[in-house]
Amino acid sequence: MFVDEVDIHIFAGAGGNGCLSFRREKFIPRGGPDGGNGGNGGSVYIVAIPTKNTLIDFRYHPEFKARGGQHGQGSNRTGQTADDLEITVPIGTLVFEKDASGSHLLADLAAPGQRVLAARGGHGGRGNSCFVSSTNRAPRRTEPGQPGEEKILRLELRLLADVGLIGFPNAGKSTLISRISAARPKVADYPFTTLAPNLGVVTLSDNRSFVVADVPGLIKGAHEGHGLGDRFLRHVKRTKVLIHLVDVSGASGRDPVEDYDTIQEELGRFDPDLAVRPQIVAANKIDALDDPARLERLVQHVRARQLPIVAISGVRGDGVGELLEAAWQKIALARSQELDADRTTPVEEGIDLITPARTPQRS
């Protein structure tokens, strides 16, 4: 089962209490206070790892609790600090913190090993030995440990892929990804055969490769949740290039130009950035083309919008090589632009961009 959105409840560990103790040994009168401090509670971190690709584990295990710190002891022994709790998630997970005012983004874990402090453990309380002064030689004062933070988080997975395959149901997306990669999605002649995104790695000559995501079919009103639309449209938000498959065979009974315009409209309404994302139109199923005029009208319509279009057959492989080379050119350009942006982006020293600011230290 593919699960890409869950809510979890996390509890950081509480700090241990400070100890009230006095040194009492034979031949040592007035030993004085020797109560140690409590240990700090464990914090909760969210960590991205490459060995996970779904959030299904959290559907059956939505609560996570870090251990609390041990209490202080006599002889000025500080309680043991609890280990931090690490919650592992797939790469590409967005972490949102939910509160009374709504939810806000805490971190975007887009790289292996990237981690964010989600809930900070409580500080341990001070023992009575910390309160000795010239006017109070035998204090009986201690502090309790501070409670750890408690939060409700929403985890949202967005697949990391270079290319996103979009189009109406039965446009041939699953057939294409099974031809160009080792992915083996379900292929059948009925709508919504694909119920979850599929990833495939495409390998070209000269050690070139990129990742393709097959997104479940879109229909009119997808941005409002019709069909499977808004649930999976977010998975193409990270892609560098979109390949828009349009069925020109006539088997669907729809007009290819109307299909193209409908998907473009849904992309723009869901996210305006998707409407201007680099895109290649693939006129699919030319092996079953019964009216060449259907293909010609689509070609003219797409070229009028200054977009590249390639006629292909996912079943026979016609034009697939040309399509992949065109996609690679756009991917390479997008990657070079990202590198240039990384080089020119100033980095402020001393600021952690994904870890929340630390709580003020107790005076």
pLDDT of amino acid 161 = 82
Residue 168: the pLDDT is 85
Residue corresponding to tokens 């057959």: 313
356, pLDDT greater than 80: no
pLDDT average, residue stretch 346-350: 44
Within 13 Å, how many C-alpha atoms sit on residue 334's CB side? 18
pLDDT mean over 70-93: 94
Tens of pLDDT, residues 264-273: 888 888 888 8
Q: pLDDT tens for residues 194-211?
A: 446 777 888 899 888 888
- Rounded to an integer, what distance in angstroms lies between the CA atom of residue 181 and that of residue 163? 13
Distance CA 66, CA 136 (A): 37
**Of residues 119 and 157, more confidently modeled:** 119
More confident residue, 159 or 2: 159
Q: Which residue has the higher pLDDT, 106 or 170?
A: 106
Closest CA to 152 of 312, 328, 10, 333: 10
Minimum mean pLDDT range among 185-189, 261-265, 272-276: 185-189
| CA 280/CA 324 separation, integer angstroms | 10
Better-scored residue on pLDDT, 237 or 244: 244
What was the pLDDT predicted at 359? 42
- For residues 177 and 189, give the distance between their C-alpha atoms in angstroms, rounded to a whole number: 16
pLDDT higher than 80, residue 283: yes
Section 52-81 average pLDDT: 92
Q: For residue 303, what are the CA distances in angstroms to 25, 57, 227, 300, 347?
A: 93, 46, 29, 5, 41
CA distances from 282 to 26, 248, 323, 327 (A): 91, 10, 8, 11
Residue scoring higher pLDDT (44 or 202): 44
Q: Cα-atom radius of gyration of the chain, to the nearest Å?
A: 29
Kindly indicate the confidence band of residue 230, based on its pLDDT and cuts at 50, 70 and 90: low
- Which pLDDT tens digit goes with each residue over 285-329? 999 888 899 999 999 999 999 999 999 998 899 999 999 999 999
Q: Write the CB contacts of 305 (distance below 8 Å, at least 6 apart in sequence).
A: none
pLDDT at residue 219, rounded to an integer: 55
Distance of CA 86 to CAs 47, 48, 83, 134, 349, Å? 6, 10, 9, 45, 26
Q: Is pLDDT of 363 > 80?
A: no
- What are the backbone angles phi and psi of residue 234, rounded to the nearest 5°? -65, -20
| H runs (alpha helix) in the chain | 56-60, 173-180, 229-233, 256-270, 272-275, 292-303, 320-344
Read off the tokens for 316. 């026979």
For the ranges 14-23, 67-76, 166-175, 212-221, which has the lowest average pLDDT?
Answer: 212-221
Q: Which of 51-65, 186-200, 260-274 has the lowest mean pLDDT?
A: 186-200
Task: For residue 217, name the pLDDT band (cuts at 50, 70, 90).
Answer: low
Whole-number average pLDDT of the chain = 84
CA–CA separation, 267 and 284 (whole Å): 20
**CA 32 from centre of chain:** 55
Q: Which residues have a Cβ under 8 Å from the Cβ of 363 and sit 6 or more positions away?
A: none
Residue 140's nearest CA partner among 152, 130, 154 is 130
- What's the confidence (pLDDT) of residue 346? 56
Helix (H) or strand (E) holding 245: strand 241-247
Asked if 48 and 93 count as a contact pair (C-beta separation under 8 A), the reply is: yes
Provide mean pLDDT across the span 237-264. 88
- Per-residue pLDDT tens for 101-110? 888 999 999 8
Q: How confident is the model at residue 243 (pLDDT cuts 50, 70, 90)?
A: very high
| Domains within the chain, CATH numbers bracketed | 5-157 (2.70.210.12), 163-344 (3.40.50.300)
pLDDT digits (tens, 9 = 90+) for 8-37: 999 999 999 999 999 988 888 878 999 999
**The pLDDT of residue 244:** 92
Q: Please choose, from the candidates 40, 24, 29, the residue with its C-alpha nearest in 3D space to the C-alpha of residue 79.
A: 40
Dist. CA 183–CA 179, nearest whole Å:
8
- Residue 222 above 60 pLDDT? no
> Whole-angstrom Cα distance, residue 121 to residue 47?
17
pLDDT at 345: 54
